């Protein structure tokens, strides 16, 4: 995927809206016949709406002129008018409901497509973005953005345009049938109303953005605290968390209060303009009735037109301010879409692993903080070899695995698998060939079975049982209340650290990738279980390339080769015996662990 050009913050709103419309237009056209049918219902409803005041006028005029000399059949005329008036009013509402039903499918599909598009894009973004994100705030941004799209599509098409058409029709009717003063008052009122609404809404949009930001912040704060429930308990920090959450809520409350006060100003001003206009219209209508230039039916028609006109106009004010709020919501959604991945997936070829040879060629890498982690590192892992990486914390061991997965790209140098540069192959084909057991295992809030099947959904029960045995999971499965269907809890919190690590090992074994990576894969296990699992790992990785990052050196003494890293450089390389004979960096690490009993320091819990 090519990196998208980020939308400039200084881009005029008109251009931003055009960009959004171009993005949403294909979703409208997906159900074009529904859009056409909905617009037809809209036109029919507006024609019926404009015709209703005339039916009311004729009814009133007839009732004020009827006398005893009128024949009996003429008395049925007002009944017909009443029935026609009721039918037209029902038709207006009914057709509007049909319109909403027809167009509802369009908006729902657009929301679905857009939410999926953002979801897929977030998974394409680089690890650096996800390390900085707040999950709760991100989820709220997506939710508000998709809802804003629904509102924008529905009301932009079915309220603003039709209301303007109705305004033109009413002003034309008033100008053609009555003194010009009515059309003038209507025009002045509409212009004043729109200008006031636009000006005040623009002013209060800043408070809408503040309220949205505080809403996202409070949700992120609550989610972060709940996800770290155990840490809160370890430090007795419940009160601190509550105070921090209340502080975020206080800022949200203040932003909402400003939003509410500005809304009060907007609504009050709009109501004043409408009231003054209606009072002036009715005063002139009454004046012309008294002079005999208009009938009581005309008075009723003007009154009905005013109610009918200012009701959608008042709704137009609501729609405009809600559209502005929706645009503020959509703005953040499109900002997410405009986030460009730091690692661009532009490889055209599919990775073909025939032997599994890995080459790190003069690799230089630093994180965005600027600290150089790898400094000209060169390392070759021969096909089928098990190579262990050791070194002090910060030496660059885990960074090598992140580069191999292309979570990041090196600033200089190359990484090749079977002579294929990683930048030349697609990330999907690369990751299909790699398997990983991370140091910190995070599981889905699902069953043991489904967490294991995540590696290969089509795996058989026999295969599940086999890898469970290799990863020493039989004890967990036999004691679990529901066996394979036992829920592991959010992030696997119902399992111990060792149980999660064994499940991660089983999951990787089930995938059986061409290249296996283990990042402190047994750090949470007791020594006996660790030795058993390492034996299983050696068995399953036989003939496959494996890269093991280890802290406890006793687990990798029989590795084909051991590479010692220090400050981003390869300082020693060889077998366990060869490195001890050198009496260098590896020998010092080994002596330190032997004296401290480091190999037995960590136990499963």
Q: What are the tens digits of pLDDT across the range 580-596?
A: 999 988 998 888 888 76
Residues 234, 92: Cα–Cα separation, whole Å: 63
Q: Is the pLDDT of residue 257 over 80?
A: yes
- Res. 374: pLDDT tops 60: yes
Q: In the chain, pLDDT over 90 holds for what percent of residues? A: 8
pLDDT of 355 reads 87
pLDDT at 384 over 80: yes
CB half-sphere exposure, 450, CA atoms < 13 A: 11
Residue 494 has pLDDT above 70, yes or no: yes
Lowest mean pLDDT of 40-44, 211-215, 396-400, 542-546, name the range: 40-44
Integer Cα distance of 548 and 389 in angstroms: 6
Query: What per-residue confidence (pLDDT) applies to 597?
Result: 57
Least confident of 151-160, 221-230, 477-486: 151-160
193-207, 296-310, 475-489, range with the lowest pLDDT: 296-310
The whole-number pLDDT of residue 601 equals: 37
Q: What's the rounded Cα separation, in Å, for the pair 601 and 593? A: 10
pLDDT of residue 84: 60
Contacts of 552 (CB under 8 A, 6+ apart): 522, 523, 530, 593, 598, 599, 601, 602
Pick the CATH number of 442-512 from 3.40.50.300, 2.70.150.10, 3.20.20.30, 3.40.309.10: 3.40.50.300
CATH of 16-337, one of 1.10.340.70, 1.20.1560.10, 1.10.3720.10, 1.10.1040.10: 1.20.1560.10
**Fold agreement between 16-337 and 442-512:** no
Mean pLDDT, the chain, integer: 77
Confidence of residue 563 (pLDDT cuts 50, 70, 90): very high
346 pLDDT above the threshold of 70: yes
Inter-residue contact 542 to 518 (CB < 8 Å):
no
Four-way CATH pick for 349-401+516-527+545-605: 3.30.540.10, 1.10.150.20, 3.40.50.11540, 3.40.50.300: 3.40.50.300
In this prediction, residues 450-476 reach a mean pLDDT of 86
Residue 117, pLDDT score = 81
Residue 351 token pair: 């990775």
Q: Give the pLDDT score at 131.
A: 65
Q: pTM of whole model > 0.85?
A: no
Tell me the CA distances in angstroms from 471 to 153, 309, 502, 504, 533, one per residue in order. Answer: 53, 74, 5, 9, 6
Average pLDDT, integer, range 390-412:
86
345 or 605, which is more confident: 345
Averaged pLDDT, 418-436: 89
Lowest mean pLDDT, pick from 206-210, 373-377, 555-559, 572-576: 206-210
Q: What is the DSSP letter of 158?
A: I
What percent of the chain has a predicted confidence (pLDDT) above 70? 73
Task: Output the pLDDT for position 361.
Answer: 92
| Gap between the Cα atoms of 85 and 101, Å rounded | 25
Q: Cβ of 13: how many Cβ atoms within 10 Å?
A: 12
Beta partners for residue 417, in sequence order: 358, 420
First to last CA, the chain: 44
Q: Is the predicted pLDDT of residue 134 greater than 70, yes or no? A: no
Q: Which of 56-60, 223-227, 519-523 has the lowest mean pLDDT?
A: 56-60
Distance separating alpha carbons of residues 51 and 88, to the nearest angstrom: 8
| pLDDT score of 425 more than 80 | yes
Domain residues of the chain, as ranges? 16-337, 349-401+516-527+545-605, 442-512
Least confident of 149-153, 562-566, 594-598: 594-598
- Model confidence pLDDT, tens digit, residues 169-189: 777 877 888 888 888 888 888
Q: 444, 451 in Cβ contact below 8 A? A: yes
Does position 71 have pLDDT exceeding 60, yes or no?
Answer: no
Residue 36 neighbours by CB under 8 Å, 6+ apart = none
What's the pLDDT at 1?
37
Residue 13 has pLDDT above 60, yes or no: no
- Candidate from 7-21, 31-45, 466-480, 531-545 with smallest mean pLDDT: 7-21
Q: Return all residues near 553 (Cβ < 8 A) that are at least 6 apart.
A: 390, 576, 586, 589, 590, 593, 598, 599
- Read off the pLDDT band of 330 (50, 70, 90): confident
Quickly state the pLDDT bin for 497 (edges 50, 70, 90).
confident
What the block records as the tokens of 334 is 């499109």
Distance CA 566, CA 564 (A): 7
Per-residue model confidence (pLDDT) at position 239: 86
Indicate the SS3 state at residue 573: strand
Closest CA to 589 of 565, 560, 558, 561: 565
Q: Which residues pair with 591 in a beta bridge?
A: none
């Amino acid at each position: 995927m090519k990196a998208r050009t980020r939308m400039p913050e200084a881009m005029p709103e008109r251009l931003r809206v055009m960009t959004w419309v171009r993005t949403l237009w294909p979703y409208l056209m997906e159900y074009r016949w529904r859009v056409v049918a909905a617009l037809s219902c809209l036109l029919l409803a507006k024609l019926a709406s404009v015709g209703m005041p005339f039916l009311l006028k004729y009814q009133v005029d007839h009732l004020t002129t009827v006398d005893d000399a009128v024949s009996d059949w003429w008395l049925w005329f007002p009944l017909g008018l009443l029935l026609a008036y009721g039918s037209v009013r029902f038709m207006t509402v009914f057709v509007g409901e049909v319109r909403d039903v027809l167009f509802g499918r369009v908006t729902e599909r657009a929301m679905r497509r857009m939410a999926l598009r953002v979801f897929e894009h977030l998974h394409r973004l680089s690890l650096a973005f996800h390390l900085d994100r707040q999950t709760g705030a991100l989820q709220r941004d997506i939710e508000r953005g998709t809802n804003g799209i629904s509102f924008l599509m529905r009301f932009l098409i079915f309220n603003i345009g039709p209301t303007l058409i109705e305004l033109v029709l009413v002003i034309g009717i008033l100008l053609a049938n009555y003194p010009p003063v009515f059309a003038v008052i209507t025009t002045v009122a509409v212009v004043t109303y729109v200008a006031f609404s636009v000006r005040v809404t623009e002013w209060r949009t800043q408070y809408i953005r503040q309220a949205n930001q505080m809403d996202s912040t409070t949700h992120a704060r609550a989610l972060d605290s709940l996800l770290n429930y155990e840490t809160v308990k370890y430090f007795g920090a419940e009160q601190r968390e509550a105070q921090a959450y209340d502080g975020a809520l206080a800022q949200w409350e203040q932003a909402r209060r400003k939003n509410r006060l500005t809304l009060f100003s907007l609504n009050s001003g709009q109501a004043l303009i409408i009231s003054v206009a209606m009072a002036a219209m009715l005063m002139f209508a009454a004046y012309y009735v008294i002079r005999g230039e208009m009938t009581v039916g005309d008075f009723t028609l003007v009154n009905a037109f005013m109610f009918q006109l200012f009701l959608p106009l008042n709704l137009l004010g609501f729609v405009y301010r809600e559209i502005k709020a929706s645009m503020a919501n959509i703005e953040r959604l499109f900002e997410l879409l405009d986030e460009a991945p730091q690692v661009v997936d532009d490889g055209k070829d599919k990775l073909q692993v025939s032997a599994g040879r890995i080459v790190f060629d003069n690799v230089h890498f630093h994180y965005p903080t600027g600290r150089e982690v790898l400094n000209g590192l060169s390392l070759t892992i021969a096909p089928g070899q098990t190579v262990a990486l050791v070194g002090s914390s910060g030496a660059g061991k885990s960074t090598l695995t992140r580069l191999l997965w292309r979570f990041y790209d090196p600033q200089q140098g190359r990484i090749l698998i079977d002579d294929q540069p990683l930048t030349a192959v697609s990330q999907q084909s690369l990751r299909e060939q790699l398997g990983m057991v991370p140091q910190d295992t995070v599981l889905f809030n699902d069953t043991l079975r489904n967490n294991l099947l995540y590696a290969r959904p089509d795996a058989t029960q026999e295969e599940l049982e086999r890898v469970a045995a290799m990863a020493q999971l039989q004890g967990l499965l036999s004691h679990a209340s529901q066996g394979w269907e036992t829920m592991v809890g959010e992030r696997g919190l119902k399992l111990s650290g060792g149980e999660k690590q064994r499940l991660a090992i089983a999951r990787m074994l089930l995938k059986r990738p061409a290249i296996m990576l283990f990042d402190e894969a047994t750090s949470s296990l007791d020594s006996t279980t660790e030795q058993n699992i390492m034996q299983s790992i050696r068995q399953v990785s036989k003939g496959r390339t494996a890269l093991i990052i280890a802290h406890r050196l006793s687990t990798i003494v029989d590795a084909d080769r051991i590479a010692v890293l220090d400050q981003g450089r390869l300082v020693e390389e060889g077998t366990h015996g060869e490195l001890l004979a050198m009496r260098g960096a590896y020998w010092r690490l080994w002596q330190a662990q032997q004296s401290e009993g480091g190999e037995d320091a960590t136990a499963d819990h």
